[in-house]
Amino acid sequence: MINITLPDGSVRQYDDGVNAHAIAESISARLRKATLAAELDGELYDAELPIHGDHSIKLLTFADEGGRWTYRHTGSHILAQAVKRLWPEVKLAIGPAIDNGFYYDFDTEIPFSPEDFPKIEAEMAKIVAENLPLERFELPREEAISFMEEKGEPYKVELIRDLPDGEVISFYRQGEFVDLCAGPHLESTGKCKNIKLMSVAGAYWRGSEKNKMLKRIYATAFEKKSELDDYLHMLEEAKKRDHRKLGKELGLFTIMDEGPGFPFFLPKGMVLRNNLIDYWREVHRRFGYVEISTPIMLNRALWERSGHWDHYKDNMYTTVIDETDFAVKPMNCPGGILVYQTEMRSYRDLPLRMGELGLVHRHELSGALHGLFRVRCFTQDDAHIFMTWEQIKDEIMGVARLFDEVYSTFGLKYTIELSTMPEDHIGDVETWERATNALKEAITELGKEFVINEGDGAFYGPKLDFHLSDCLGRTWQCGTIQLDMQLPERFDLEYTGADGAKHRPVMIHRVVFGSIERFIGVITEHFAGAFPTWLAPVQVKLMDMTDRTREATEAIAAKLEAAGIRTETDLRNEKIGFKIREAQLHKVPYMLIIGDKEVENGVVAVRSRKGGDLGTMTLDAFMARVLDEIRNRTMD
């Protein structure tokens, strides 16, 4: 008998060789049906494979990330089998599960397109209906190579040859189809339903532009058809909200061929951007920050001292000035450290909170560029906090409270992820553990939950990442809190303690927006371009009914502008319905229609973007309404 420990800590005994499905069956028939895979001692494991010896187990359903991964990984094999049935000459590359779906890469001269999808999906449906069992088997290295050579799969042969000595080489068979794969998979193809092919793209083999370009088919799969339908509806809504599309339609920003990855902000985009910056400054003043500005370019010696030259050089733009290497800053922190060093610091000066809206540049591969979400230059809303060890918890809690206030202002919910020490790190393990525990304690004391992301910290310290959820349920990583003991050591930072001795401060790196550019992209999609009144580039659009009311319309516009309300007038000789529809397309929060009757009665006819016709009111009453929304940053 073997002992199996369940997630609740209870221990059950089973015959040696039991599998996860049998364990699930012993608990309930319903759980057996829902179980897709298992975590055995924290590692993904096939639900059909025998288990030997004592282990802890977690049974995975589609509600679990590992369960969804297994479900969609099986979908990738079904896709590959269907393509091979339709086009036997196609060569197989790789086909992993990814967030919200899976893909498979093929080497073929066939120009796959969405027009091929119905034929492929029909063949996939046949494979699902055949309910083929997925059978795992292993081969020694040389036999595995011969096996794939016989099948004419050179990419699989290359993968096998690159596996380290002693690595288990496993395959999965479903009917006539066999693929090199570590698993896990569902028990049969019949368990993987509701598959939808999504798109086609090119992808270099192993991600290197030096290798051959392959054809990649993206797809997704859900356990329930209703979930697939909801997902497809969300994608359609996301297309409408694409910030690149809205950025062009609303005149916010553009990216030109002359500067790929370097966004141009247009007048209305600058209004939005400056409003965000004004809000950022207001919040940081209230939370006790001072603002600084540091140079965009600094010499190599600084970047070597900070560690960026060794750990980040491939992402940096460099040049030579007066025979000295310089780098355009990819981060603001070394400059902030130099500011700290401009004068002697005492414990009475700490914590010292310094904010900076610093323009940084990072070299990103052209294929990774994406609107405002992935660019090569951006304004990082940085802050660096210098403090004593005793102040760490309070400062982290203060930053988390600031983040909570900011995200709530935009109606964005969030989750927190704690990233721990990576392999490529500086500093000793003991210091890393102390720093990581400080982050855990602060967030726990605030009553916030977090998940662990092992090994994904910055090279100089652990970090907390804040993942925002927009109105479609999509997540965006924006805010970060990074605790750093290494750079103060590298730069020999000091403060004079109450005991008169020199001490080493601790440093926090943090951003709340992440970058101004990325955050504009996020909120553009979150609001679908219909920004709340306080953020909207144009808050009120005035429209005259006839030439007779033009002078009155212009006078009202001047009064609104004088009150600080951003206003545009539409005095074109067009029908009022046309003007209203155009203002709605530009997502202006309020429209004022000025006709003879309104001028005669000293009122304005008001329409709102959301509420439609609001009737007439005095201009003063309307201004009070709008100014209240601006002052309180009211959400629609």
Tokens found for residue 498: 């109450």
For residue 58, which amino acid is it? K
Tokens of 534: 């306080």
In sequence order, what are the residues at sequence separation of 6 or more whose Cβ sits closer than 8 angstroms to the Cβ of residue 163? Answer: 141, 169
380 is catalytic: yes
What DSSP designation does 374 have? B
Instruction: Show the beta-strand stretches assigned E in 205-316.
Output: 213-221, 253-254, 264-265, 290-291, 297-299
The tokens describing 44, both together, are 């993904």
Give one DSSP letter per residue of 554-619, joined into a string: HHHHHHHHHTT--EEEE--SS-HHHHHHHHHHTT-SEEEEE-HHHHHHT-EEEEETTTEEEEEE-H
What is the dihedral angle through the alpha carbons of 205, 209, 210, 215, rounded to the nearest 10 degrees? 40
Catalytic residue among 384, 541, 579, 587: 384
Which is the catalytic residue, given 73, 268, 284, 509? 509
- The closest alpha carbon to 98, from 127, 123, 130, 65, belongs to 65
The one catalytic residue among 333, 482, 526, 544: 333
- Secondary structure (DSSP) of 419-441: E---SS--S-HHHHHHHHHHHHH
Half-sphere CA count of 35, side-chain side, radius 13 A: 25
Among candidate residues 215, 376, 463, 587, the one labeled active-site is 463
Phi, psi dihedral angles at 132 (to 5 degrees):
-75, 130
Q: Is 353 a catalytic residue?
A: no
199 to each of 101, 114, 161, 216, 426, how far by Cα in Å? 11, 7, 31, 8, 42
Cα–Cα distance for residue pair 98/71, rounded to 1 Å = 11
Considering the candidates 380, 482, 486, 539, report the single residue annotated as catalytic: 380
Interatomic CA distance for residues 402 and 458, integer angstroms: 22
Measured from the Cβ of residue 161, the count of other Cβ atoms closer than 10 Å reads: 11
Catalytic residue status for 341: no
- Residues 105, 179, 381, 382: which is the catalytic one? 382
Q: 413-419 and 450-453 as β-strands: parallel, antiparallel, unpaired?
A: parallel
Active site residue 281: no
Our answer to whether residue 509 is catalytic in this structure is: yes
Q: Indicate if 333 belongs to the active site.
A: yes
- Residues 204/208/209/212 CA torsion (nearest 10 deg): -40
C-alpha distances (whole Å) from 478 to each of 9, 331, 415, 447, 468 are 36, 15, 11, 21, 7
The rounded distance, in Å, linking the Cα atoms of 72 and 81 is 14
Nearest CA among 509, 506, 502, 510 for reference residue 345: 502
Give the side-chain half-sphere CA count within 13 A for 347.
Answer: 13
C-alpha to C-alpha distance for 440 and 392, rounded to whole angstroms: 11
User: If DSSP codes are grouped into helix, strand and coil, which group holds residue 86?
Assistant: helix
Q: Which of 215, 362, 579, 587 is catalytic?
A: 362
- Which two structure tokens, joined as six digits, stand for 28? 């309930």
Residues marked active site are found at: 333, 362, 380, 382, 384, 463, 509
